[in-house]
Amino acid sequence: MDPETSPYQAPASELADPEPNPARPLLGILAGVATDLIGTTVVAVILGMLYGMAFALGWFEPGPQQGDVLTILMQIQGSIWTVLGGYWCARVGRQRVYLLVAIEAALVIAFSLWLAPPASLEDLPSHLITLPLALGGGYWWQRGNRSSA
């Protein structure tokens, strides 16, 4: 039996890896920045409105410790959105994941400092924590992507 006409022989084909899309890294960075900034802003507005309504309804008495609770809630939700921004940057970009996520985090830090400059050096770490949080999101995507492959 001729090996070229054998029904058990796999057909010859030339398969190549698809060319990487040159726009993907840029889209990944934009997706991460948008996720972080828009998500943080929307949830902060909702939390602020709920916080104001709770005072208006008399659920809380105004006091200095009440502002600390809101600050902690804002920091937690902002951190969650930063991790998600790093995750989406890595998921959409898919190339040089940590470099893309670091660029995304640097852009988020720049926007944050531009929109809300720190009043003192004590406020600066809350902006700089963005980089490790975003890199954690990139690691999260890469770890999940590696285990499914």
- Work out the pLDDT band at 148, boundaries 50, 70, 90: very low
Reported pTM: 0.78
| Residue of higher predicted confidence among 44 and 122 | 44
pLDDT for position 149: 43
pLDDT in tens, 65-99: 666 788 888 999 999 999 999 999 999 998 889 99
How would you class 73 by CB atoms within 10 Å of its CB: exposed for 0-12, middle for 13-18, buried for 19 or more?
middle
User: Does residue 40 surpass a pLDDT of 70?
Assistant: yes
Exposure string of 79-112, with b = 16+ CB inside 10 Å and e = fewer, is bbbbbbbbbbbbbbbbeebeebbbbbbebbbeeb
Q: Where are the domains of the chain?
A: 24-141
| Residue 146, amino acid | R
pLDDT in tens, 103-144: 999 999 999 888 888 777 777 888 889 999 999 999 999 888
User: Does residue 25 surpass a pLDDT of 50?
Assistant: yes
